[in-house]
Amino acid sequence: MSKFKVEIVETYRRYVEVEAEDEGAAYQDIDEQINEGFIDLPCDGDNYKYDRELFVSEIEEENE
C-alpha cells in the first residue's frame, strides 16, 4: 500500500465594515477584534466565502 501526503488549503474570505481614520487604523482595529475574540474566524456571521483545494502527492519511501 502506498502512502500519500495531502495538502489542504482552505480560504475564508470575509467582508467587515469598520469606521477608521485610514487603512492602517482599519487593519489594526479588525486585527484587534480577531485577537480579542470579538470576531470568531473563520465563519462568524454573514458575508463570507469558503473555498477548499486538495493537493495530493505520493510519498516516496527511502530504502535503508
Q: Where are the domains of the chain?
A: 3-59
More confident position, 60 or 8: 8
pLDDT surpassing 80 at residue 59 = yes
Show the DSSP H helices in 7-64 as ranges: 23-35
Residue with cell 469598520: 18
pLDDT at 42: 61
16 CB-contact burial (10 Å; exposed 0-12 / middle 13-18 / buried 19+):
middle
SS3 assignment, position 15? coil
φ, ψ for residue 34, nearest 5 deg: -70, -50
The pLDDT tens digits of the residues spanning 8-49 come to 998 878 788 889 999 999 999 999 998 898 887 665 556 677
Beta strands in the chain (DSSP E): 3-14, 48-59
